[in-house]
Amino acid sequence: MLPPLTQRDILLVVDVQNDFLPGGALAVPDADAIVPVVNQLARRFGHVVLTQDWHVPGHSSFASSHPGRSPFETIDLPYGPQVLWPEHCVQGSVGAALAPALDIPQAELVVRKGYRRDIDSYSAFCEADRVTPTGLAGYLRERGFSRVHLAGLATDFCVAWSAVDARRYGFEAVVIGDACRAIDTGGSLAAAWTLMREAGVGEVSVSQLSP
Ligand code: VGL
Ligand code: ZN
C-alpha cells in the first residue's frame, strides 16, 4: 500500500486517444481495456491532468516523412535516435481526439505535445531535444503538487518518458502498471522499465493504491 492520496497528488492520464486504441493508426495492443480502469481511477484523485499527442502533418516522427523508411525503424535526428511511426495523432483529426469512452470531465488541464514538426515529444514535461520544456513542471509546482501517478498509453514511450522526466523535474513518480499498455517494439518495454527503475520511478497496481 502507498501512503494515502493527498491534495499534493495528481493523476496524469497519458495519450488515451483514438489512434492508440484498436482500429487506430498506431493501435496499442489491448489498449481499450484500460479505459474503464482509468475512468474509475480518476474518481479517486482530487486532480487529474490529461495529455494529448498532437502532431502537425508531415511530422518528423512519421516514417512517411523520410523517403525509403518504414514504421518502427529507428533513425538519427539532430537530437538523437528517433523511432519512426505510422502517421498518427495529426492535429484536429479524429485519431488525435481523446477516446470517446474516456470519461474524465473533471480533468483540469490537457497538455498537448509533439506539435513542433522537427521535434517529437513522448514526455509530457520536455520535448525529445531534452531542452524544450512543455510547461507542465512549472504548472504542477505552482499548484503545489509533488507526486505524479501515471496511467495511459504507451507504457514504454509516452508513459515512461513522462515518468522519468517527472523525477528529473523533482516530483515523485508512480506508474500504475495495470492502467497502462505498451507498444513493445524492439525490446522497448524492458528498456523503459530499466530506465524508470534507475530514475526512481515507483510501480503499483490499481489494487495497491490506497483508497
Ligand atoms: C506515443 C509513439 C508515438 C505514445 C506517441 O503515446 O506512447 N508513442 N507517439
Ligand atoms: Zn506521437
Q: Which is the closest atom of ligand 1 to the Cα of 159?
A: 7
User: Which protein residues have a CB closer than 5 Å to ligand 2 (ion)?
Assistant: 53
Cell numbers placing 36? 474503464
Domain ranges of the chain: 9-56+90-208
C-alpha cell at 153: 498509453
85 alpha carbon – ligand 1 mean position (Å): 8
pLDDT in tens, 63-79: 999 999 999 999 999 99
To test the pocket of ligand 1, the residue of 20, 84, 155, 188 to mutate (highest count of ligand atoms within 8 Å of its CB) is: 20
The CA 116 to ligand 1 mean position distance, Å, reads: 15
pTM for the model: 0.97
Tell how far the Cα of 5 is from the centroid of ligand 2, in angstroms.
31
Instruction: Name beta bridge partners: 146.
Output: none
Cα(first)–Cα(last) distance of the chain, in Å? 10
Specify the fold of 9-56+90-208.
Rossmann fold (3.40.50)
Ligand 1 environment, Cβ below 6 A? 15, 20, 53, 85, 122, 153-154, 157-158
Residue nearest to atom 8 of ligand 1 (CA): 157
pLDDT on residue 1: 61
Cα 25 versus chain centre, distance: 17
116 to 67, 91, 133, 194: CA distances (angstroms): 20, 11, 12, 29
d(CA 151, CA 7): 18
The residue contributing the CA closest to ligand 1 atom 2 is 157
Average pLDDT, the chain: 96
Q: Which ligand is nearest to the CA of 158?
A: 1
Residues that are catalytic: 15, 113, 158
Report pLDDT for 4.
86
Residue numbers in the chain where pLDDT is lower than 50: none
**Chain segment 157-197, per-residue pLDDT in tens:** 999 999 999 999 999 999 999 999 999 999 999 999 999 99
Residue nearest to atom 6 of ligand 1 (CA): 158
- Per-residue burial over 14-36, b = 16 or more CB atoms within 10 Å of its CB, e = otherwise: bbbbbbbbeebbbbbeebbebbe
Question: Ligand 1: which atom is nearest the Cα of residue 53?
Answer: 5
Measured in Å, residue 85 CA sits from the centre of ligand 2 at 7
